[in-house]
Amino acid sequence: MKIFFVVLFLILDWSQPTIDKNYLLGRFDPSTDSRFIQLNSTDAQGSALNGFLRKETYEAFQKMAKAAKKDGVNLVIISATRNFDLQKKIWENKWRGKTKVEGKNLTTISDLKERARLILLYSSMPGTSRHHWGTDIDLNSLDNNYFSKGGGLKIYQWLLVHAHEYGFCQPYTAKLNGRTGYEEEKWHWSYLPLSKIFLTEYQKQISYSDIKGFEGSEQASALKIISGYVDGVACR
Ligand SMILES: [Zn+2]
């Protein structure tokens, strides 16, 4: 009898997805992880072309996109999973001035905390992005203005009404009601049935000593990256 329960426990335990630190920090390769699936070219463009998402996220997206299409709204994924290495490239290009931030070369800013804060207006530190998890997508345009008129506005209004029916929510809303962290991102949507689990695990498992391995990482604690940014979401 005892052996039966031990075996049962092991089976149940194995059936749980592993959510270890490396997963939460994006330190894995989604292209070789069986929980991920590659996006097809009808759903994805730009940097998301040949990209990956968790299977659950992609299935929910495809249902949502199909429903949107019936209402004349075309949803396109332009960024999907970005692991630690990719986020490190994006971050360090801004840190080193290779990519300008609002027209500025940030190497001219010698206050390193301020330099990091400027990057954080729109980009996450490696190890702290929801894009690591395979649950979050950027849709159609990385410009809030696009969603304020014409076809973009129609897309955004459709998402506001219907995205939740498919499990998606907008974590980075306008910073009313005291939300902290990133600026508003009308393009960024999160598959909550999974991302809420990962956010809870992140809060449990990750501390500032885990945020390392890139230039400027020593600013993470002073800028309250975990409590202010990772946790600065409108839906959880
Ligand atoms: Zn995003």
Give the model confidence (pLDDT) of 74-111 as tens digits.
999 999 999 999 999 999 999 999 999 989 999 999 99
Provide the 3-class DSSP secondary structure of residue 74. coil
* Residue 9 pLDDT exceeds 60: no
State the distance from the centre of ligand 1 to the C-alpha of 195, rounded, in angstroms.
Answer: 13
CA angle 167, 172, 175 (to 5 degrees): 135
| Residue 10: per-residue pLDDT | 53
Distance 136 CA to ligand 1 centre (A): 7
Strand segments, DSSP code E, in the chain are 36-38, 52-54, 77-79, 136-139, 168-169, 188-191
pLDDT at 13 over 80: no
Mean pLDDT estimate for the chain: 93
pLDDT at 124: 96
Q: How far apart are the first and last CA of the chain?
A: 41
What is the rounded distance in angstroms from the CA atom of residue 46 to the CA atom of residue 80? 10
pLDDT at position 178 is 87
From the CA of 140, how far away is ligand 1's center (Å)? 11
- Cβ–Cβ under 8 Å, residues 37 and 44: no
CA of 122 relative to ligand 1 center, distance in Å? 9
Span from the CA of 87 to the centroid of ligand 1 (angstroms): 11
The CB-based long-range contact list for 158-165 (8 Å cut-off, 24+ gap) reads 158/68, 158/71, 158/73, 159/75, 159/189, 162/64, 162/67, 162/68, 163/64, 163/189, 165/64, 165/67
Predicted structure pTM score: 0.90
C-alpha 131 to ligand 1 mean position (Å): 6
**Average confidence (pLDDT) over 187-197:** 98
Task: State the distance from the centre of ligand 1 to the C-alpha of 222, rounded, in angstroms.
Answer: 23
Q: Which residue has the tokens 């992140």?
A: 202
Pick from 179, 183, 186: nearest CA to 235: 179
pLDDT one-digit tens code per residue, 127-141: 999 999 999 999 999
Residue 95 confidence (pLDDT): 98
pLDDT at 15 over 70: no
Per-residue confidence (pLDDT) for residue 176, from 0 to 100:
83
Model confidence at 177, in pLDDT bands (50, 70, 90)? confident
Q: Ligand 1 centroid vs 232 CA: distance in angstroms?
A: 14
